[in-house]
Structure 1
């Protein structure tokens, strides 16, 4: 499997931003090769629907047939890349590109919500429950600091993944990183004069 699929075409980004396609591609990346029927059962869709969307992902180079694992009459599909990337600045140069970037960001947020909803603390040991979840921080940072944070997180993720690859307690874990600037009108008031009540 190749490392990444770098998208430079807004139309291609919109193809993968379809809600069902992004789920199918994610499952092929995380769970391995599968048929349209197998994926349909996982996402609650008919095999006809998943087949159509898999063909679209194939058409644009996101997936391929798995030559090592044939399943009778039905094709088995596998992801071609570990992840998808794009240059948001480059794509945002057109209205179509800005729309595609926004849609794919919303799909990412939906995926986080879906995974959080599926997590049931009762299914996991206390040590997993303790470390699961999310935290958020509202900071005042320039773009250079956000870039540094992103780079350091990526570096740490790679280091930990390598260090613990053979640990018997290791499980597949979804790790998110996100940062978005807030519009001034969305910011909370900072003091009582601006409307905050400190009582």
Structure 2
């Protein structure tokens, strides 16, 4: 591990070239995201949620299992009914390394994954904007859409990113249970990148 590199939390999967190839497919990314956000489900339940065929979700769940992203939830289901759950809580990517990989298929997989993430983030925000009036007043006061521009060095930018990640992680440790009154899944997107002077 490099001197300035942070350790990977136990509940986080660090992508390498092989695992990236197993995940960098739009439906697989959506399946994994749904399992992480909504909990264990069957291929049929996921097909209904995502508007896909159960054959497609079943196939891609098996592929995700091959690469260790999902596992069978053996505590659920009866008979032939297979329930799936995420094997980890999060993913960490060495984006720069994977985008510079000597193998063009790795670079392509990383690009696919990044563009799919950007699309998903946009869809999540659009869904919120289309439904915010349906939420209680407390939630309508708690959301945010902001942007800032600050002049930083790469070192300061990395420091800022790391501090934001640490702050969000501290709230993961405060998470309330699903039965907590007036609780909801709270989605956080972070986009941070340099801008050209022009």
Same fold (TM over 0.5): yes
TM-score when normalising by structure 1: 0.83
Deviation by residue 1:140-198 (Cα, 9 ceiling, x = unmatched): 2221112111111122112233345366333211111121223x3xx44xxxxxxxxxx
What TM-score comes out, normalization by structure 2 length?
A: 0.83
Match of 2:117 among 108, 121, 124: 108
Gaps of 5+ in 1: 189-199
* CA-atom RMSD in angstroms: 2.0
Q: Does residue 1:85 correspond to 2:92, yes or no?
A: yes
CA distances 1:102-156 after superposition (whole Å, capped 9, x unpaired): 2221111111112122220122012212332421223322211121111111221
Alpha carbons of structure 1 residues 71 and 39: separation in structure 2 relative to 1, 3 Å:
farther
Unaligned runs of 5+ in 2: 1-9
How many aligned residue pairs are there? 183
> Which has more radius of gyration?
1
Q: What are the equivalent positions in structure 2 for 1:1-199 lying under 5 Å apart?
A: 3-9=11-17, 11-91=18-98, 92-94=100-102, 95-119=104-128, 120-163=131-174, 165=176, 168-182=181-195, 184=196, 187-188=197-198
Label 1:70 to 1:108 Cα distance change in 2 as closer, same or farther (>3 A): same
